[in-house]
Amino acid sequence: MAVQAETLDFNDLGFMYRDLPLRYVSTYKDGKWDAGKLVEGNQLTISESSPALHYGQQCFEGLKAYRTKSGDVQLFRVDENSKRLNKSAIRLLMPEVPEEKFIDAVKQVVRANEAFIPPYGSGGTLYLRPLLIGVGDMIGVAPAPEFMFIVFAMPVGAYFKGGLQPARFLASFDYDRAAPFGTGRAKVGGNYAGSMLPGKLARAQGYTDVVYLDPATHTKIEEVGAANFFAITHDNEFVTPKSDSILPSITKYALLYLAEHRLGLKATEGDIYIDQLDQYKEAGACGTAAIVTPVGAITVKGKDHVFYSETEVGPLTQKLYDELVGIQFGDIEAPEGWVFQV
């Protein structure tokens, strides 16, 4: 049963699924997309032989709608989510969703569920999950005969409990997130399914999650759990890992721009070696869900490397967070083309 807005405490949402009244569904068949529509009910009916279920022919996105101080609602770089979904679709032999259709679907879902957008000042947002899946009767390893594009939403609070505070991570030498030349750059479910076990093992030892290294040499940082990684050198260079097996995070590229153009830092994509962490004074994880999470320490083969602090947020990480969130909630002027009004 769909949740009622009046039953929610928007100041204490957590990051969890909630069944909202309406979502968008569109079907691709005979070489074209239908018009799509808003529907009630959170259950999908698909063939038991759908390639999404057996062979992982599916991809997804994550983005948020923000309530501004004036009461307006805006989206952050939704066109980039559309582009990334289509890159994932191309990699998995799925039809692209036209950008206009993608953005329209997202806006329809936001408007239909506007009562569930947390108020300005609560820290909450309306999280949106666009999903593209291969369906229909197909048991061979081949592209699906039909596809479904779905967008649903839910109000959420902070991804990591406790808000903006440093977290501890464990460098993984036993598990890889993705393979060289594999699907690491695509936002596909298999990348996340494979991360559940190492994440569980790390949390059992008191860590927030694992730091994944490059799968070829295990010498360079790639991602932090389900988020991208960044670090800041002692001479104020903002660096994010560069690799063909890293998901191109929209948040990461926003931070690269803001670090250079708003904070005056040198900003680059490059190698961050796991045995050279002493070159960096601050570090963080970033993504749509996590926003910015300071990395207080990374344990590497039993030894802890502490960045700025395990209890306090580094000043540059704090400034980046404030700038990004200020833009997303409409308190700070956004670079041209970053904000879409609903």
Catalytic residue list: 187
Closest CA to 209 of 197, 219, 220, 217: 197
Residues 134 and 168: their CA atoms lie apart, in Å, by: 38
Report CA-CA distances (Å) from 173 to 115, 180, 266, 298.
45, 15, 30, 13
Say what angle helices 78-91 and 250-261 make with each other, to 10 degrees.
Answer: 130
Give me the amino acid identity at 198: P
Half-sphere exposure of 14 (CA within 13 A, CB side): 4
Q: Across the chain, how many H-helices and E-strands are there?
A: 7, 18
DSSP state of 193: H
Give me the amino acid identity at 125: T
Where are the alpha helices (H) located in the chain, listed in sequence order? 51-54, 78-91, 99-112, 189-193, 196-204, 250-261, 315-328
DSSP assignment string, 76-100: ESHHHHHHHHHHHHHHTT-PPPPHH
Residues 186 and 57: their CA atoms lie apart, in Å, by: 12
End-to-end CA distance of the chain: give it in Å, rounded.
Answer: 27
